[in-house]
Chains A and B, each alone.
Chain A
């Protein structure tokens, strides 16, 4: 009985801390959202540009994109962020912590998104392109009107996955002094010596963001499937 009441009291204390810290996390969560959104939007632009560069079949451009993708895939994101924030200033290129984080995250997700787009474009039947150019379209019209819309639809599931990874990856920005959700978590733990409820709140926020995004993407996927039997 005593054990039970002790447990209840612990639980009550736990949730008291949780409720106190839920609002205190909001600035960090907003920062996480901002970084994730930038990483996703700029990353998608980077990714699409990289894919289209590669499709031009201009050798130097193709090579450049290959190098970009190899570097991003071959090195840890943490290293990339630290490099941008601590090493680039050595050669006179200095960004604010926020810009460094945004560039680093977008640069990183752009490489993966580009690979997703490339795979999706290559999965579209060659007959689609042939049908388009046989109507007299040039190759860019065929790409824009026929191949890309189909490829985009096909890339939505993997793209969604990458977006969720981008949200979680934004936590690494804490390594370059950005006060986002993870940074706040560590500060609050250090201040309270009470890790459980604080970690719980941080996890809750991440789960909330990724769940909402997943649901939205699922909805988009369903809407795009209209024309499939």
Chain B
């Protein structure tokens, strides 16, 4: 909490976003999850998750490691196969055929903790890969799109660099551009700054803040509580595969009800 004024500014911004979402109450939620269960062998890691993400909403998932937040995120774009429950995207129930799942993945962009850039391709080729291979876009058109996106994440001078030549923060920003190139409706972030040196965290969070400001629907698994408080419209606290508390950042961070959340927040310095 080192920049109070900025926080307030962000807040006003978001309230308007939120009211926008509320105004369009007739449109179906961007993502709705009903009674989702996930097992790894005998171990039940998600125990009946119900949640809704509205269009333009920024949802931050917090919780200690092993709470199931990354697994939940990965279930949304079917990198993990759920065992039970339903996922609705834009009001439509996802049918689990390979084709439908591919279509979902084009709508739902994913950013990984460890970036997973394609090391044999340059920054711009990484960004072009999805549109060219999946959408069949012309290379010239894809290149223009990729240049625009690299500029958006502040890396227009790095287009010809291979990932190995980029810093962690730069790699993650290319990874964000790569996901954006598919023009997704939702972006999932799986601890996007956890693998970064502390001084590189800010540049990635900055790009994510810009995205939130542009109205992108985002679900973010994060340990950056300051960021969650500043950018999140809704915070979800997950513990042992159960959503224990949901609410606005003010409520969750200032007046947490759940004793486990109180303890969790007590352990973290932010």
Contacts and interface: CB of A to CB of B under 8 A. Distances in A.
Contacts of A132: 118, 129
A210 interface: no
Interface stretch (A43-51, A56-64, A133-141, A193-201): A133-141
| Interface size grouping (class) on chain B | 20 to 34
B90 to A, nearest CB: 16
A135 B129 contact: yes
A136 B105 contact: yes
B116 A145 contact: no
Interface residues of A, number: 22
Interface stretch (A18-26, A111-119, A123-131): A123-131
Interface stretch (A75-83, A86-94, A146-154, A159-167): A146-154
B238 interface: no
Nearest to B98: A138
A185 B165 CA distance: 53
A131 to B, nearest CB: 4
Given A127-B114, A135-B182, A137-B134, A227 B162 contact: yes
A133 B116 contact: no
B5 interface: no
A191 interface: no
B116 A135 contact: no
B112 A130 contact: yes
B166 to A, nearest CB: 10
Contacts of A131: 110, 112, 116-118, 175, 178
B116 A150 contact: no
Contacts of B179: 134-135
Contacts of B165: 229
A226 B116 contact: no
Given A131-B112, A149-B120, A150-B119, A136 B106 contact: yes
A133 B79 contact: yes
A133 B110 CA distance: 10
Given A127-B112, A128-B118, A130-B79, A135 B164 contact: no
B130 A136 contact: yes
Question: Which of A134, A138, A149, A227 is packed against the most chain B CB atoms within 10 Å?
Answer: A134
A24 to B, nearest CB: 47
Nearest to A145: B133
A15 B88 CA distance: 83
Given A135-B182, A229-B165, A145 B129 contact: yes
A150 B133 contact: no
A150 B120 CA distance: 7
A6 interface: no
Interface string B102-143: 110110011010101111111000000110011100000000
A228 interface: yes
B77 interface: yes
Given A146-B118, A229-B164, A135 B130 contact: yes
Contacts of B122: 227
A138 B120 contact: no
Question: Which of B77, B102, B164, B165 is packed against the most chain A CB atoms within 10 Å?
Answer: B102
B134 A136 contact: yes
A131 B127 CA distance: 12
A132 B175 CA distance: 11
Interface in A92-118: none
Contacts of A150: 118-120
A200 B79 CA distance: 60
A135 B79 contact: no
Nearest to A228: B164
A153 B120 contact: yes
Given A125-B116, A150-B119, A133 B129 contact: no
Interface of A: 125, 127-128, 130-138, 141, 145-146, 149-150, 153, 226-229
22 contacts: A130-B79, A131-B116, A131-B117, A131-B178, A132-B118, A133-B102, A134-B105, A134-B179, A135-B129, A135-B133, A136-B105, A136-B130, A136-B135, A136-B182, A137-B102, A137-B133, A137-B134, A141-B133, A227-B120, A228-B164, A229-B164, A229-B165
The 3 A-B pairs with the shortest beta carbon distances in the complex, nearest first, are A227-B162, A136-B106, A131-B116
Given A128-B118, A136-B182, A137-B134, 17 more contacts: A130-B112, A131-B110, A131-B112, A131-B117, A132-B118, A134-B110, A135-B129, A135-B130, A135-B178, A135-B182, A136-B103, A136-B106, A136-B130, A137-B102, A141-B134, A150-B120, A229-B165
